[in-house]
Structure 1
Amino acid sequence: TGQPSAVDFYQRLRKHGLKVFFHHAIPDYPNDLDMIVSAQGFGANDYIPVTRQLVVVTGPGPCSGKMGTCLSQIYHEFENGSCARYAKFETFPVWNLPLDHPLNHAYEAATADLRDYNALDNFHYDAYKIVAVNYNRDLQAFPLLRALLNRITGSNDGYQSPTDMGVNCIISGIIDDKYVQTAAKQEIVRRFLQYEADFRLGRTATDGAVIRASEIMQKANVTIADRKVLTAAREAARDCESRHKGDAGIYCGAAMQLHNGDLVTGKNSPLLHSAASMILNAVKHLANIPDSQFILLPEIVSSVANFKYGLGSNSRVGLDLSETLIVLVVSASRDIYAQKALACLPQLAQCDVHLSHYPSRGDEAGLRHLGCSYTYDPVMPTKNLFV
């Protein structure tokens, strides 16, 4: 339709040598089936030539045109005398787990901003007398999808339900349901904290996702108190303040739960951000290094701090997590304790982390690099943190 953003994106892709195909607006879509399944409908879209029998169609997210692309291709294939079909690779919801299983609740939490909800697939039960779980958008779209496929193929022998067209074998990979339920409940709390932070920090205009996630937490019978690292991080920040530590009247705490269940905390100081302190404490704990043992060489820390101060961009020179990891790598070339600590970093992947404050760019980049599952309180690290 000549959208400037679409034209710009097309030109960028072409400059990178990528082939680009267009879909066009179809009048009265999705109501006029005669128009949709015609040369002026799907037939007006570009045909995408393929050489493989199995083709994967992916997109950046929901409502990105994946199903429309598949239907258009199926139309063209049948017009060219070929028989084509499509199936959806569905991760969630898990159709053969109970509707109220925490894993299915976690899917609802992950899409709270879209207001997706799970429901029983009445089409599947009518066809097979088997209870199956699906979600609202697929259930709402299925009558139209079935009508379009029947019109394109000229047959009623296709899918009888949304569950039919989904490929989902997740339940075969669950060997410890109790562990999965626990992990799913943690994910629900993580999503709630993420939505709350986005709203309170102004990233989203309304609190709709926060309210929806709160409702899901009630269904799953979980609260933020079930996230142990949250409680530990807030306690670390309060302890930091009560001891008059911190940095220039700013008191921050961070907490990590290791895979063996141990909790490790960190507090900010003039030298380190709380996230950096927490990571150093975690690897020292894993490497059995005494708390009193330094693993960052003082001369390297001093050089980095002086460099930051010399830039003049910030009067505080405490190292964030990304900077601390670099100092640790350099220190490991000359110090045996730093080498042992560095070797333990991979064990932090997928560990739960919570910060009592909004993370700096360097802290967030470091946590992502380590593969930690982190959340944070939507509070800027100012002197008024606990007012």
Structure 2
Amino acid sequence: MTLMFRPSAPLHRTLLAALALTFATPALAQEGPQGARSTQVGVIELSQSDVPYTVTLPGRAVAFEQVDIRPRVAGVISEILYQAGRPVRAGTPLFTIDGDTYAADLKSAQATVDGAKAALEAAKATYARYKKLETTSISTEDVEAARVAVAQAEATLSSAEADRDMAQLNFDRTQITSPISGVPDMATVSVGAIVTANQADALTTVTRLDPIYVDVKESSRQMLEHRAMWEAGTLTRADQVDISLTLETGETYDRKGSFVSPSTTVSSTTGTTEMRLQFDNPERKILPGQFLRVETTLGTTRAVLVPQRATTRGSDGTLSAFVAVAGKAEKRTLTENGSYQNAWVVTDGVKAGDQLILDGLTNLQDGSAITTVPVTIDAQGVVQDAPATDTSAAGN
């Protein structure tokens, strides 16, 4: 015989009510004051401040000085006197050309000079003797002829001295020296090679690397926008422009730059203007031809800094963020004017005093019910709960 237990009707209704209350309790805990499910989010209060206005421009390193070394006389390379990559000073010998022929030419030219000097002395002596005898046994015509002979001898001596000086110059040019201080490249010739005067191919190149130039290009439109900001007062010009450099590795160069010369023309093809900057380069970290990034701080602008981790960039390029308004998340479209450290410099879309949602953004939608918790963010972008003292102060 099977016994079956059937509760009475009042007891049955009591059990069902208890079960319903048990399963409903967690859901009710997540509901807001109006009965909608809310998401807990971390917020910070935005403030307006003077933000450095920095412009990032592409740049290319250019040698401060660079010279192609070419022979000025013909001959055979007899010595290579330098080591590639080792700095040299101006006047340091780099190559030697076999100078036997030029030495012989110099001796011959010097002998011609000596002969011209002797001829001049003889012509002067003759003229002096004729001058004394002019009123007795020597005619005026003979005296004049002697004077002309002296002038011709002087001209002959001058020509001989010029030839000797040229021979000396050619002999000196058999030793090729560096015209600047810098770092020589590898030689393009070897000992025994025949070279010609002023040939097209350089024997080597000497480059001065310290200091070094960096040429940057900026659009003419951007320059006009900066000028308009200065005139409107939204950008306060700095007393001295701060110029920093980022290397190809992403490392920030530890030396500041200075302006050398701005361009006075705009490229008709790219619409950009070129400026030249100068950086000290004692460790030779920067080499000609490298592509770099230059950050120029033009002054300060009054704006709101919005941490980049709180924003999203749409496929159309629009920047947006969420702010807390009356217990709901409100999506805002931001207008940014560059970045500073880990934040966007925002000029429109949010204002000082807005509660920016910084944490709990996953699956957050416009209009979602939220519960706010004060948080902080450090320079590395790490978000933490605000200290209890800050929370109490905010509540007051």
TM-score, length of structure 2 as denominator length: 0.19
Report which of the two has the higher share of strand: 2
Question: Bigger radius of gyration, 1 or 2?
Answer: 2
TM-score, length of structure 1 as denominator length: 0.19
Report which of the two has the higher share of helix: 1
Relative contact order, higher structure (CA 8 A, sep 6+): 2
